[in-house]
Amino acid sequence: MKPATLAFLRQCFYEYFQRGYVIPPPSLDEREWGFIFFDPAYPEIRMCRHMSFGGSRELEDYLRAVVPAHAFHSAAYYARPGAPTMAEKGWTGADLIFDLDADHLMRGPYHLMLARVKEETLKLLDMITGELGFDPRHLQVVFSGGRGYHIHIRDPSVRQWGSQERREMIDYVCGTGIDAKAMLEKKRGETTGWRLRYREALRAYLEWLKSLPLEQAEEHLTTRGTGKKAAAYFRERIEEHLGSLRQGQIGGLLRDRTLRLLLTDENPELLGQIRERGALADEPVTTDTKRLIRMPSSLHGGSGLRVTPLAIRDLGDFDPLIDAVVFGDRGVPVEPSVSLTIQMLGNSYIIEKGKITTVPEALAIFLCCRTMAEIAGGS
């Protein structure tokens, strides 16, 4: 990154922090802090961590003085958060964190990736509040400023959970390790949660299998351990099984030996259908009891967008390319290193590689943070 570009970004971030828009997290004095700065090597990541602050005023003064590109705090609480090693900090608990990143879901235009990951976040919130029973008052939803969302759960009942309990939670929301027998047991009452999702996944899988040409369907079945005669017979019975699923008459499904062979984690086609119905959160983030997470209300040094805390009720209407933009529309000349079409502040912009173009300040910051452009003219 050229010195002029680095200076431009640092000045813009400086002005943001001077305005005092940051919102410190609860118990900030019990958390470890880490920062990445606009140093000459930026955007190479060199994190300064193992820091602590006694209160919000001390934190705010530090942010205004050093102007970080990225600001993080621990999900964990410590007795001595500023100690130089993890062993010395004295872990006392941690928030439960879910991280959803569009990179794990799809590739494509940025605005479409953001729309897709919001769908996944809404799905996860339904599970957390509707199925797992967490009180929305203990939840904070945060747009990461990049390509996804974080959900912080600060319910006191989860604070002491270790990695294993957190792993069970992420396995549930992602649909990992589901017991087919348990999902297909006939029980009284309404079929909800993973029982409903699993049956929908199985129905979609059988519909896919039914749509294959006969030879391909039989080849698929034989690779799952079924003989040719059994595969041909099962292929003929798919519609019968689909009818049972539609009508909720599932008692006899597990008596079919071929179907039992298909209901395993080694069947990638069925597994794909199950995962589509889960919430594809990042497992390592949730299981890590000492994770650093982006500070809500800070800026993301890879986009210039605000790491935006949200009320759950506002997530549906939230548009990051409008609502997380904190910089203005004054013209800034940039020299792009890529060609792309991008949306920002409700408008669409066509950027041509190597062609000096004047764009709104917010877009100039985004492109420079992403190393897609440099400030033109070196001034």
Any idea which residues carry the catalytic annotation? Answer: 99, 101, 282
- Residue that the structure tokens 């001034």 belong to: 379
Q: How far apart are CA 163 and CA 160, in angstroms?
A: 10
Q: Which two tokens stand for residue 205?
A: 């899988």
User: At residue 174, what is the residue type?
Assistant: C
* 3-state per-residue secondary structure call for the chain: CCHHHHHHHHHHHHHHHHCCCCCCCCCHHHCCEEEEECCCCCCCCCEEEEECCCCHHHHHHHHHHHCEEEEEEECEEECCCCCCCHHHHCEEEECEEEEEEHHHCCCCCHHHHHHHHHHHHHHHHHHHHHHCCCCHHHEEEEECCCCEEEEEECCHHHCCCCHHHHHHHHHHHHCCCCCHHHHHCCCCCCCCHHHHHHHHHHHHHHHHHHHCCHHHHHHHHHHCCCCHHHHHHHHHHHHHHHHHHHHCCCCCHHHCHHHHHHCCCCCHHHHHHHHHHCCCCCHHHHHCCCCEEECCCCECCCCCCECEEECHHHHHHCCHHHHCCCCCCCEEEEEECCCEEEEECCEEEEECCCCCEEEEHHHHHHHHHCCCEEEHHHC
